[in-house]
Amino acid sequence: MDKNTSKTVISPQVIIAEHRQARISAFKARMVARLISKLKASDALDRLTVVERKSSHLIEKVLKSAIANAVHNFGLREDDLIVKKIEVGEGPTLKRFRARSRGMASRINKRTSNIKIYLEAKASDLSKKKESKKEKAEDSTEKVKNTKKTDTKKALDKKELK
C-alpha cells in the first residue's frame, strides 16, 4: 500500500483527507497550517499558492484531495466547504548517520509528518440537501398512493365487467 493515502470518512458533513509520512518536519508544516485554518476552502487554496514554503505545496495537495472527495463522493459544492481544522502530527523519523572525525559518527534525524485536513460543509448547504431529500421522499410516497388508487380502480372495473 502506498504511504501517501487519501481517505474519506465520518459523514457527509465532515470530509477528511490525509497525507501520511510527508517528508517535512511537523513544526515546519504547522506554521503554514495555521494560516488556513477556519477559512473557506477556495480562500485557503488561494493563500497556499502565495506562500513560498515546501509545506504549503504538500498541504495544498491534501486540501485539493479533500475538496475532490467532498465534490465527488457527497455531491457538495466547492464554494460551500470550510476548513474545519488541520492536524499536523509527527510521523516516523528516519535515522541516518554522518561520518565525523576520529572514526566517530553523528546522527541525522530526517523527520516526517502526518497531515490531516477536516472540511465541513456550510449548514445552509446541508439543510438544502435535507429538504430536497424530504421532497423526494414525499414525491415517491405520493406516487405510491396514486398507483395504489389506480390499481384498486382497475380491479373494481374488472369486477364490474364480469
Question: Domain extents for the chain?
Answer: 1-121, 123-162
Kindly report the average pLDDT of the chain as a whole number. Answer: 83
Q: What is the reported pLDDT for 126?
A: 53
* Residue partners of 153: CB distance under 8 A and separation at least 6: none
Residue 54 has pLDDT above 80, yes or no: yes
Position 136 pLDDT exceeds 70: no
Identify the three-state secondary structure at position 122. coil
pTM, rounded to two decimals: 0.69
**According to the model, what pLDDT value does residue 146 have?**
60
CB 6 within 8 A of CB 65: yes
CA 43, CA 39: separation in Å to the nearest integer?
Answer: 6
User: What residues are paired with 96 via a beta bridge?
Assistant: 108
Angle, helices 26-36 vs 41-50, to 10°: value is 130
Task: Tell me the average pLDDT across 57-79.
Answer: 93
CA 124 from chain centre, in angstroms, equals 18
Kindly tell me if the per-residue pLDDT of 158 is higher than 80.
no
Q: Can you give the C-alpha Rg of the chain in angstroms?
A: 27
CATH architecture under which domain 1-121 falls: Alpha-Beta Complex (3.90)
Other beta carbons less than 10 A from residue 108's beta carbon:
10
